[in-house]
Each structure stands twice: as C-alpha cells, then as structure tokens.
A = this chain, B = another copy of it.
C-alpha cells in the first residue's frame, strides 16, 4: 500500500473530504476563471450552492468544445508564471485542448501514479520500461513522474525500435512494461520471433492503457508475457494517465478519489446514474491548481462500484471502458452502441471481427443491418451452414440490444479496413438532421 490512510479510509470520510475539496475547487474556478464565472452565473448556480456532494449535479457539464473555446490558456486558474508544464491533445478535429500544470500538479501526478505502480506490485527495486511516447501527449510522462516518485528505475525508451525494446527487456532485466495493448501485442510477436524465452525475463507486471481493450486481449498479453497486466486509465484534460489504475484483484480500476470526483451519467439525459449502472463517465478535478476541470464529459462508457475491493482499498472502482457515448446511435428509440454489437459477435465463431452497422429508414420505421465478415472456411461452406450462423448472430444481438436486426454475412476481407484513425463502424443513412 502506498498510502494506506488515504486509500483505505471509510466511504463516509472519503465523501466528506471530497465535499470540502469540491467546494474549494468550485469557488476557485468561479473566482479565477472567467469561463466558469460566466457559465455558472448564466446557469444561476454559485459556489455557495454546493452544500452536499449531490449538489454537483446542479453544475453544468464541461465539454471538449468548451475547452477548445478557451484555447490556449483560458482555463488556467493561476498566473502563467505558476504553470511549469503544458500538454495538449492531438487536435485532429479542430483546435487542440491544452492542459496546464503547476509544480504541485506535477507532484500530484507522480503521487497518483506511484500509488498505481504500488497497486501493481512494484517498488523502488523495479525497472520500468516505458514504451509510451513522450511529447505533447501525456502518455509517457505520467509513468515517468510516478516511477521517479516510487524510486523505481525508469527506462524512457518511448514507442518504436521494437527489436531494441526486446533487447533492453532482456539486458536490463526489465520488471515492468508499459504499453498500449496493440503495441504490446506487436512487441510480444517480435519478442517471439527473436526467440525470447519469456520464462527467463524478469517481468513482474505490465501496465497497459490509452486504448479500448477486451478481456481476450488482456488474456493474450498475460499469456504471451507470462505475467499479470493491469489497466491504466486517464485523459489529458484531467491530468493524463493515472486517473484510474487496477490493483492485484484486476476487478476494475481504482480512481484516485482524493484527486478526482467521478460520476456516471445517462449520456442522453445528463442525469446522474446510481452505482452499477452503465453510462458516461464524468470527472472533476478536486486538487488541481493549474487548471481545475469540473464535470468534464469524458464520453467514455463505464460503471462505478463502491464496495470495498478484495485488495482492501475503499476507493471506487470503474469498469474498463467498453465504448464511447459519441458512438451511440438511436434506432427505434433505443440507444445502441457498437460495443454491444461487438460483444454479441464475440460469442460467435466462424466469423471475423470486422463488421459494419447500417441504419436505414425505408418508410417510417428504422431498420438496422449488421454486415459481418464470414471466415474463409465458413464462406466456402454450404448455404445451410451460413444461415445457421446468421440466425445465431441475430439472436445474440437481439439479446444484447433488445431489437431485431438483419444480419448479412459477407466475403472475408470485403469490409474496408481503416488503417488510420478511427474505424467507422456505423453508417447512418437516415438523414436525420
């Protein structure tokens, strides 16, 4: 345990100090950042209205567009002189989002990650090979600062040079790898090609994040590297990686609740959902000096669990991210997420993990068609076989989303691959706007 007093305090105490921190944060933001002054005044909500934690729901949400509108430094709550580091999102869509840190914020970041690395079973003896890139993106720096705080050895190799990564893993006796799941799987393949004996490596833990993942991917990573792999979640707007990190129980990510206040909302209505309900994660900085972010809509879908974890920590656990609220489509009045379709498809063998969701409205009723690639062997099979698979898929999907869909099995490799950026899973032909 890095800080037992904090990480295992009673839920009552956590909520109590969160309220105090929240009140302080809202007051500071309102006083120091014109954006909040205006936004809260327009909504007729003022710092003194926050009397309970529940009152946070009275505050308007903050979106990525709000942050963009404040580009570059409009969200800073301190004099520019106090800011010692600036990060930024990639800005592929519109202006980038800027994130600013004071010395205390950088120290907090290190503290939070040091706690997480401890949850993963690491200490000052460990050698952490960090394959995340360092740059405006926050990826590399979080673990870097956390490793320093922990007193472990950081090897800041960043992404790429995969053969060299493999060599260093062996030669340095790396005990922890940090990677994105996709790069980790590639690194594992290259290591195998190079004839690495994974049993001879000194790996104790893997930290992975920055991408969506499935249980199957984790299994594959753990099997390949012959060690446990822990998810690290975070986002530049709030700090960077480390907002949530998995412990040895691997049963959800502990959110550092002394630094962040999490809510889960219905992405459509904005209403806060109770524990164990899936919705969009909304996060609030509780300790940030440089740029306090309040009720930021992450668009990431998850559930929160407040019961005490097997590891003894009382900090809330979030489930791994299973989708994005901006991928949501409404069909026949029902909210459908590509992740639900994906989940159903994973249950069926004889198909490839490539699919498209096509929504049409031929008359007044919505129709939804799922195009799925058949495997090579299925595609050369007889028609009866294929009909059986189609029915199976339709059944699983209906079970998952509650409405009937049409399923088409298409030839292997016929669905266009997107080699860069986001994959377009949904094709909405309804012209709803």
Q: Which residues of A are in contact with B by a Cβ distance under 8 Å?
A: 71-73, 80-81, 83-88, 91, 100, 103, 106, 124-125, 127, 134-136, 140-141, 147-148, 151-158, 164, 168, 171-172
Residues of B within 8 A of A73 (CB): 172
A84–B171 touching, CB < 8 Å: no
Partner of A86 from the list B80, B84, B134, B154 (CB cut-off 8 Å) is: B154
A140–B134 touching, CB < 8 Å: yes
Residues of B within 8 A of A71 (CB): 171
Residues of B within 8 A of A100 (CB): 153
Question: A283 to chain B: closest CB distance in Å?
Answer: 23
CA distance A190 to B248 in the complex (A): 50
B153–A86 touching, CB < 8 Å: yes
Question: A154 to chain B: closest CB distance in Å?
Answer: 5
Q: Which residue of chain B has the shortest Cβ distance to A157 in the bound complex?
A: B136
CA distance A178 to B114 in the complex (A): 30
CA distance A390 to B157 in the complex (A): 49
Given A71-B171, A84-B151, A87-B156; 4 other pairs, CB 8 A cutoff: A81-B151, A85-B153, A86-B153, A134-B135
The 3 A-B residue pairs with the shortest CB-CB distance in the complex, in nearest-first order: A134-B134, A135-B158, A72-B171
Q: Which residue of chain B has the shortest Cβ distance to A71 in the bound complex?
A: B171
B171–A156 touching, CB < 8 Å: no
A148–B72 touching, CB < 8 Å: no
Residues of B within 8 A of A154 (CB): 84-86
Question: A326 to chain B: closest CB distance in Å?
Answer: 24
Residues of B within 8 A of A127 (CB): 80, 86
Question: A11 to chain B: closest CB distance in Å?
Answer: 35
CA distance A2 to B91 in the complex (A): 37
Q: Which residue of chain B has the shortest Cβ distance to A80 in the bound complex?
A: B153
**Known contacts A71-B171, A72-B171, A171-B71; A84 and B134 CB within 8 A of each other:** no
Residues of B within 8 A of A80 (CB): 125, 127, 153
Residues of B within 8 A of A172 (CB): 72-73, 86
Residues of B within 8 A of A156 (CB): 85, 87, 134-136, 141
Q: Which residue of chain B has the shortest Cβ distance to A129 in the bound complex?
A: B86
A103–B148 touching, CB < 8 Å: yes
A86–B152 touching, CB < 8 Å: no
Residues of B within 8 A of A85 (CB): 148, 153-156
CA distance A209 to B419 in the complex (A): 37
CA distance A73 to B173 in the complex (A): 11
CA distance A153 to B86 in the complex (A): 7
Q: Which residue of chain B has the shortest Cβ distance to A154 in the bound complex?
A: B85
Residues of B within 8 A of A124 (CB): 81
Question: A241 to chain B: closest CB distance in Å?
Answer: 15
Question: A77 to chain B: closest CB distance in Å?
Answer: 15
CA distance A156 to B134 in the complex (A): 8
Residues of B within 8 A of A140 (CB): 134
25 residue pairs bridging A and B, Cβ less than 8 Å apart: A72-B171, A73-B172, A80-B125, A80-B127, A80-B153, A81-B124, A81-B125, A81-B151, A84-B147, A85-B153, A85-B154, A85-B155, A85-B156, A86-B153, A86-B155, A86-B172, A87-B156, A103-B151, A106-B148, A134-B134, A134-B140, A135-B156, A135-B157, A135-B158, A136-B158
